[in-house]
Each structure stands twice: as structure tokens, then as C-alpha cells.
Structure 1
Amino acid sequence: MSETSVTAQAPTTPTDRQPQRSSQRPVRPPRAGRSNGQWAVDGRKPLNPNEEVKQLSPPLEVRRRVEERYALEGFDSIDPDDLHVRLRWWGLYTQRKPGIDGGRTAQLDVTELEDSYFMQRVRIDGAVLSAEQVETLGEISTTFGRDTADITDRQNIQFHWIRVEDLPEIWRRLEAVGLSTIVSAGDTPRAFLLSPVAGIAADEIIDPTPVAEAIRRTYIGDPELANLPRKFKTAITGHPSLDIVHEINDISLVGVVHPELGPGYDLWVGGALSTAPRLGERLGAFVTAEQAAEVWYATIRIFRDYGYRRLRAKARMKFLLAEWGPQRFRQVLQDEYLGYELPDGPAPRSTAARADHLGVHEQKDGLFFIGASPGVGRIGGRRLSAVARLARSVGSDRIRFTPLQNLLILDVEADKVDELVAGLEELDLQVRPRPFRRATLACTGIEFCKFAIVETKDLASRVAAELDERLADLDLDRPLSLNVNGCPNSCARIQIADIGLKGQIITVDGAQVPGFQVHLGGGLADSGREEAGLGRTVRGLKVPADGVADYVERITRRFVAARRDGETFAQWAHRAEEETLV
């Protein structure tokens, strides 16, 4: 990797970063004076049961045991450490046993909650998929997964109802078309987000495809990176819509133009949500395309070597950044891992381009791509297979999934666009969805997830459809994002939605019912918004699941009635009195 000849300057201060709408919730690092399990400081003695399991047997080796024993002898033959820890390195989690009420989620042991079936995650890394690959995903779903398949907000595909006996054949079929499940979960470099319009958008700053491919080819599956303190999430974009939620990833490379060096990337680290949300921070460092893979590798090794391993709850990159700060992190990156300084660079600025990429859009080569919404990511195997056939019928062999649980079909001739749009609509893959269908996300929820407390997917779909009917008379300027999560872990990004719903059991008229805590006014700096910030919560505000549509309608109408000129929902929600928000 070549070094730059530009003289580095001091890292930017917090006042140079993108303005944020609200203060971040404090993320406190562990107390000083005690071992935190940092390999580079404390040595490699394991300090919690997960670390012990990983040291006893490298997790990637569990595949051999699946193929040689577990697939032959069945679910009950699986070693508990493999079942609950190591199988994640191949994208496998036991799914929730049907019929267990959400109120019992925190009361039962995992062995009481889990079924003898798996959720299987397929690693996509934002890559372009061929029609054959999508067809293979569809066939696996219908053959082995009871027609379940979800597009996740990490651009992956997830199956359910997977039996251990079928795993060798599933792996064989995936790998025959160039797909894999390796390190798609566990304490690993998870599948990374890539701009869905990488390489095709007419207004792209830089094509991040070569960087993503270099990282995937060189480092994914490397045993040296297969034992991190916790998961490590990556996002890369060269598009000005900032379409990969860069503020909530462990590392993000965001396309910018340096005044002297030209197009490259602005480097962000330390973002994550869950129960202790923290927005990532700019290091103020400019990264050239030639340096990007090396900088990624250096950053993940900092996390591997200095990340906290004593407590799982404190093991994410955000806690290390909270202790070090961006200036020290940049210095360690340059001095200990790169061996050269990175030049300062400009911050990204979003445009008015929509980050969801839905609709019909011209590519830079004169062809068109079409973005469609399946509705909260639930697509199923039959529809995946139908998408593959439909793409072929209009001469396309390139399909992408998006971080907003949608899909794109690329390379469509102008005279085939209407035919494709009609075909997608027949499959209920909406190219021009109404506002709430367009902007609603949902996690897996209690249907399959052991951590969930409430149902999410069907609820979110019903509520979105109902709100699109009820609020058809309103001019919202832009859709309000509605993110529905089944537990506090924020897989559906509740703290950065206009309206985020966190599932919990609540009391209504003395009865325990499924409901939600409400987060209002979160958002990231995409689609023309200049500010990023976490949503606010209102003391005592809980909404029963059967009252979500009523609540969202009420709060939306209040916003439209009270907003100032040019005011966003997030700005209004942060200034409004609490009584207005209930």
C-alpha cells in the first residue's frame, strides 16, 4: 500500500465533526486499575466463559464436526459449547421454540427457549448477486427453510427452520454459486454494508467495490481475525446519500473528495447501538482507495488487541473509543499499526438523494436500476426465485440487497423498465411504496428470536399499511421512519428512527400485555439531513402493541400541525413538550 506525500496535520477536534442533534448517552469504559482482558495489555488469559470456549477450540473448526458427526447424529449430539457459541461462526443461532410468551423471555434459560432448528445467516457483504445466486437462495429457502427468507438490515439473507442434518447440503449449494455463511455471526468481522449503488450511480463520488472485494478476498475467514472481543461491523460507501448508516458501525469508510488528493474516504470508528448506543466519530483522517483495505485491517487489529474481553457487555469497539477518544485512536492506528500518518480530510456531506434507492433510476452507463420494497424485509424463497426469473426475463443478471431491507435489480434497458416494474408489483415488491411501507424496518421478533419479547414483522407490516391509509391526506415532505424492535438490543435501529419502538411487556389496566417503549426524533445524516442524533424517550410513555397505529397517527398529525417552516420530525420531537408527545 502506498503512502501519501501530503503532510499530516493534527486530528480534528470534536467541534470539527458533523453537528449532532442531541447528546449521546454516556458510554463508560471499565474502571481503571483492573484487568479488562485486553490482549495487548493484560495477556490472553480468558476472563469469561465465552473467551474460554474460543480458546479451547477455534470456532471455525466446528464446521468439520457438523459435517462428520452432528449432521449424521442429529441435534441432540451437538456439544453445548458448539451449539451456543461456535456455530455462530458459521451463521447459525438456535431459533425460539414456538408458543413461549414474551413475558418469559428473561425468566427462562436459553436451553428452555431454544428449538432444535436454526436461523441460518448467509453472508452477502453488499455484493452484486447473479440471478443464479438469488435462485439458489430461493431454492434453499423452499427446500430446507419452509419458504422463510428475510432481507436483513445488514444486506444478508436469513433462513429459519434449518435442521443440522441439512447443513452440509446447504453449504454445498451456497458454495457452488460462490456464496458462504463463514463468520456471518460470532466474534468476527461481520458481513459489511456496501452502497447498493456502488459502481453504477451517476452521482457516485468513488466506487467502493474494489475496497470491499479486497477486504473480503484477503481477510474474511482469516483465523487471525476469528477471535475478536465481540462482533465488528463495517460499512463502506462512495455515494453522497450516505446510504450505509455509517454512524453506527465499528468502522466506516465514507466517500469524500480531498482538495489535493481527490476522491477517497473519510474514516469513522466506534459506532453501535444496542442497550448503550453511541454514534461513531470521525478520526479526521483521509484514506485513499489504495490505503483503504490496509486501514481496515489495522483498525480491526486494534480492536482485537485492545478491545475489552473481561465483560461481554463492555466488549464492543465503542467502549474503547469512549476511553481513548478519536485523537488517541488515530495516533495508535498510525504509530503502532500503519507505520505512517494519514492526512486530514473533509467531512462527508449528504445530498437530497434518497438513501433507500427505491424507484426507477438511471445508471451512469445509461441503463436503469429499479429498487423495490418487499415490506420489512420478509421476502420468502418463492419470491426470491421469482425475482431471479423476472430479472432474467428483462435481460438483467445483477441483483442487490440494501441496508433498508429492500432489493435492487440492475442493468435494465429503458424499454424493459415498465415490464420489470409491473412484474415486481405483481410479486408485491413495491417500486413506489407509500410512505410508511417505504420507511418501516422490523427485526425478526418473537416468532424466531430467543431474545425477543414481542412480535414485530407482522405487526410492522399491518401498522405501516394502516398508517398509509389513515394519513393519506397529510403532506409529510419525506416519509417518517418507523423502526420496530422486539427487545432492547436494537437490531432494527430504534434509537436512530423518527419513531423507534422497543418491545417490552407493559401493564395496561392491571394486565400484562405486549407493548413498546417509544424513542422519538432519532436519525442519521443521510438524505439531505445535516445532523445525526439519538432519539429521546419520554418518561412513562409506553404504547400497547394493539395501540401502535393510533399512537403513530396521533403523533404524526401533531407534528404536521405544529412544525415550523423546514422543520424535520426529529427537530420538532426534540423541542416539543413532553405532554405533546404522549
Structure 2
Amino acid sequence: MPDLRYTAAAPAHTEVPRPKRGEGQWAFGFTEPLNKNEQSKKDDDPLNVRDRILYTYSKRGFDSIDPADLRGRFRWMGLYTQRAPGFDGGKTATVPEEELDDRYFMMRVRSDGRLLTPAAVRALGTIGRDYGRDTADVTDRENIQYHWIRIEDVPTIWGILDDAGLSSLEACGDSPRPFLGSPVAGVAADELIDGTPALEEIYRRYIGNPAFSNFPRKFKTALTGHPSHDVAPEVNDISFVGTVHPEHGPGFDLWVGGGLSTNPMLAQKLGVWIPLDEVADAWEGVASIFRDYGYRRLRSRARLKFLVADWGVEKFREVLEKEYLGRTLVSNPSPEQPVGHRDHIGVHEQQDGKKYIGIAPTVGRVSGSLLLQLAELMEEYAVAGARLTPYQKIVLIGVEPAVVEELIVRLDAIGLSARPSNWRRNTMACTGIEFCKLAIVDTKERARRLVAELERRFPELDTPITVNVNGCPNACARTQVADIGLKGQLVVADGEQVEGFQVHLGGALGLKANFGRKLRAHKVTSAGLDDYITSVVTNYLTNREPQESFADWVARADEDLLRGEKTLEPADR
């Protein structure tokens, strides 16, 4: 395979729109770096930093780390410096990043839809307990995320991960970020197709491959053969979604260009049928388009979604087929999008007569010790394995029916409920100001207290209402596609700046996928969050029509009801 990292791609065979000015697109010969990030990647392939960590930095300590590695290439190894203590949200965008750096790291460990054996769960717990001050979070990228990691301990941690068949390689950076795979792949009774072999092949070919280690920015992959579309395919750069061709049978449609942050866009559907054994080739084609044609001048426009939006999906498919695949894809109508839960919480049937159980930690926060307890229960009850979900949940696979109820009781005792409240089930939160250098407000602890209070105020909520809490505009917790999305920012209350949130209401994925409604100049303080959500939910429950969802109600509700300026009484119905 030719090395296309720093040279222009082959001449185009299709009429691709040439930019009016240089956007750093390699395919047009714009190979000179246009910003410091591109210069750093050209100076040295970020994959090379692994050896420096193993043989230099871990032995000489934090002060020996080259700043270009520390704030750049380390990300390809799943490592970010965490936020130093003592900096409030007002300093996030004003203090030089070197001052915000603590001497400890966040580490992300990718699971890529893998089935985690009890031994692997024990390894993950051991790392958190022994090397991360007992931290561990389940993220919405199906990662385990640690904090308080010392550079001196990284080689030992990597050794534990290697033995467990896991890795932090390219868990961050301008790289193929951790894949989202269906948590119930290969076992769900209603699955269309098991995409596990395709994810394994993509990982084998491309993770750690220098030809795919320098994208314009992050590149997020999702794949599912489950009809619930349980990997949020609408908001990933590339998604393979299970479908059925009337002649060829089960395969995958291809969706491209999804993403959130400050310019959210839903993925566009190619309307094709790709067989299981050609998924990796299609992934390579899309990834290569992003590498060669992606915009590299401005980081704010360097995601694949901007290229797809500019080209249009028809042109994108043409380039993919003619320049990268060398064949025409089979057309097939895109599958209908589902309505309802995608998180697999509760007890469900497997194909083999066993059960799988979805369990909910609160806002994804677990610990090393909790993972060790989970591993012990998995071994005691002969559970085949666990998978992480894109909704900060855990699914236990291969449970004998006779032990289900007893296991559920034991899980609940350690804080992992298979029958959580609607609030606990449907609330997510990003890392927040506790550790993240980009965050402006606290999220994890605030969301945990919010869940507890809403459980007290609405103990019998009869309909799901999702609440996604994010510490900054980057939407790591998918703010814009929640019923109630909360984007952290500083707000003014009584003449002082305090932690608060911009509110997005009525967002959704699935059949009615859309971005939440923002009310002009409407913000809520963190301290007032419980009362605000109570008012809005009360208005919904009082004013809704039969079977009307929260998102549908938001679309028609008066603004004073959405702003919480008025709270309806039952007599107002």
C-alpha cells in the first residue's frame, strides 16, 4: 500500500469540486501543514510516541516529556493530561493549556464492541483500583476511562491490557477512534446480522496502521446489525447499519458524515447493500476519502461531515466507488429507523435460550473496585462476558435463565441495576470540569444529584425522558439529541458568574431524529436545574396528549412552558 500520509493522492477520476482556496486537501496537492496540529503530525507520526513512553518518559518522569508529545501525540496512545485542580470554568478558555495540565493523565481503553470476559473485566478493575485512584467510567464510546494515571505506570498498565486483549491505541487523536459495536451482537434473538467479524477485520487492518494514523481530525465508526440501531449511527462519521436485500439477504447500509459539537449534522444514507466480508473494504474507502480530501486548514471544519455536506451524498458515493473501491455498490433502500430504547437495559432473550441483562451505573460512573466486584459475580454465575454500550451502560451476555433473578439482586446490591428508574436509565453525563480541560461546569456529580432528586419528585414516571449533561459545547454526551440536553456554560445570576447550562429540548435519534430546540437567551443555573426540569416535566405530564412523547410535545408547546416560567396544575389540562 503506498504511503499517502504526506504525498498527494493519485489523480482524481471524477469531477470532485476543487476548493476556491487551499483547505489542506492532500488529493489536490495541498500537503504543506496549515496549522500546528498538522505540522506536529508531519514532524513525526504520532504512533512513534509509544516507544518514547515505554523507554524514555516512563523512566525519566513527567518533566522529561516533549511538549509536542504531551499535548499532541500522546492522544494516539489514549492519553490526555487531566485538568489541574484550582481552575474554575471561567479560566477554561483563557489560561494557557500548559497551565491547565496536571501531572496526571486520563486514559481511554477501547473495547470496540468486544465481549469482555470475566478476566478482562477483572483486568480493567485492577487498573482503576491500583493505578487510577479507583476511578473508572463507562463512556458513550464504549470505552473505560481512567484518571490519575502516572506516566511511570503506563507500561505496566499496557502490559495488563495486552494480556486481556485490550488496548488504548488510537483511543484519541486524529485517528480511527474506538468503534461502536452492537452490545448484543451475535446473541440477540431479533438481530438481523452479526457484524463482529467486520469490526475485528477493520481493527486488524487499520488500527496502528501508519497509512491511517493521520486524518484531518477524529474519525468515529459505528456498526450494528440490530434493528434498534443501538450504536447511534446518525451521529458518527461512518456507520454500517444492518439491512436486508430482497435477493442477497442481510448486509449493511452505509451512512456517512454524522457528528455533533458546535455544528451538528445527521449522517447521510447512501442506500446501499454491503455484504459482511466487504465492510472493511468500504471502511477503508471512506476513511481514505477523509484522509485525502478532508479539510485540514481549520480544525473547526476538519470533520468528515463538512466534506459530505459540501459534496452531497451522491458525489461522495461516486468518488467512493470510482476512486477507492473500483466497483459499484449494490443499491438498496435504507432501513427504516426505529422508535424506542436502544440501550438493552433489562432482561432479554438470546438466540441460544440464555438471557442477556442490561445494567445501569449512574451516569456511567463506576470504579475499579466496582468492576472487580462485577468480575466476581460474572465468574460466580458463569456469565460469558460483558459488553459496554454507547449509552454508558453494561450488558451481561450468556446468563442461564435459572440464575437471572438471583444475579439481578446481587448486581443491584453493588449499584448496577437491571431495573433502574427512568431517570437513572436515561441520564448521561460527560467527564466535566473535575478532570476535563475543556469543561466549564461540573457534570458527573451534578447529574448524579439530579437523578436522585428527580427520582424523588417523579418516582413513577411512566415515559422515558432522556437527559444528557455536557460540560462544554463539544457534545461528548450528545447534548443535541436528548429530550433535555444541557450544555455547560457560565451564566450570570445576581450579578455574578455561576455554573449553568444552555438548554436544548426535544432532540432525538431514530425515526424522528432531530436536534433539540434552543430557546433564545434561555439559560438555567446549575443550582436551579432541579426546579427547572421539574417545571418542564410537570408541564409535559399535565399538557400532553395520549401517547405523546416528550419530543413531540416540545415541538408544539408554548415557550413559557418550556422556559419554566409557568408551571401547570392538573386543573389546567
Please give the per-residue CA displacement for 1:356-395, whole angstroms capped at 9, x wherever unaligned. 1011112110011111101111110000011011001001
**How far did residue 564 of structure 1 move?**
2.3
Q: Does 1:183 align with 2:183?
A: no
Q: How does 1:33-182 map to 2 (within 5 A)?
A: 33-182=20-169
Q: Please, which moves more after superposition, 344-353 or 145-154?
A: 344-353
Query: Is residue 560 of structure 1 aligned with residue 541 of structure 2?
Result: yes
Query: 1:59-458 alignment to 2 at 5 Å?
Result: 59-351=46-338, 354-458=341-445
- Shift in Å, 1:354: 2.8
Q: 1:520 aligns with which of 494, 500, 505?
A: 505
Q: Is the contact between residue 22 and residue 30 of structure 2 (CA under 8 Å) also seen in structure 1? A: no
Separation (CA, whole Å) in 1 of partners of 2:107 and 2:149:
7
> Residue type matched to 1:318 in 2?
K
- Whole-Å separation in 2 of the counterparts to 1:218 and 1:367: 33
Residue 290 of structure 1 aligns to a residue in which SS? helix
For 1:273-295, what per-residue CA distance to the aligned partner results, in whole angstroms no more than 9, with x for missing partners?
01111111101222121221110
CA deviations over 1:222-280 (Å, ceiling 9, x no partner):
11000110000000001111110000000000001112211111110000001111111
Of 552-561 and 487-496, deviating more is 552-561
Q: 2:74, 2:339 → 1: CA distance? A: 42
> Residue deviations 1:120-169, cap 9 Å, x none?
01111011011111101111111110000000000000110000011111
Q: Deviations over 1:23-71 (max 9, x none)?
A: xxxxxxx994210000001332111111110111110111111111111
CA distance in 2, matches of 1:473, 1:172: 47
State the AA in 2 paired with 1:575. Answer: R
Give the structure-1-normalised TM-score: 0.92
C-alpha contact (below 8 Å) 1:240/1:353 kept by paired residues? no
- Is the aligned partner of 1:486 residue 2:471? yes
Letter in 2 for 1:552: I
Find the residue that maps to 1:291 and give its secondary structure.
Answer: helix
Q: Could you report, residue by residue, the CA deviation over 1:327-368 in whole angstroms, capped at 9, with x for unpaired residues?
A: 000000001011111121122224456311011112110011
Any conservation in 1 of the 2:245–2:251 contact (CA below 8 Å)? yes
**Equivalents in 2 of 1:472, 1:72: separation in Å?**
53
Partner of 1:25: none
Give the AA of the match of 1:259: P
State the AA in 2 paired with 1:319.
F
| In structure 1, distance between residues paired with 2:495 and 2:29 | 51
Residue 504 of structure 1 is matched in structure 2 by 489
**Identity within the alignment, %:** 53
SS of equivalent residue, structure 1 residue 504: strand
1:251 partner letter: I
Alignment gaps of 5+ in structure 1: 1-29
Q: Report SS of the residue matched to 2:551.
A: helix
Aligned-pair RMSD on alpha carbons?
Answer: 1.2
Q: Which segments of structure 1 move beyond 3 Å, counting only runs of 4 or more?
A: 350-353
TM-score using structure 2 length: 0.94
Hey, what's the Cα distance between the residues in 1 that align with 2:326 and 2:474? 37
Deviating more after overlay: 191-200 vs 279-288 = 279-288
Whether contact under 8 Å (2:129, 2:368) holds in the other structure is yes
- CA 1:389–1:473: 2 relative to 1, 3 Å: closer
Q: Is 30-39 or 86-95 further displaced after alignment?
A: 30-39
342-351 vs 200-209, which deviates more? 342-351
Q: Tell me the residue number matched to 1:11.
A: none
Higher RCO (CA 8 Å, separation ≥ 6 residues): 1
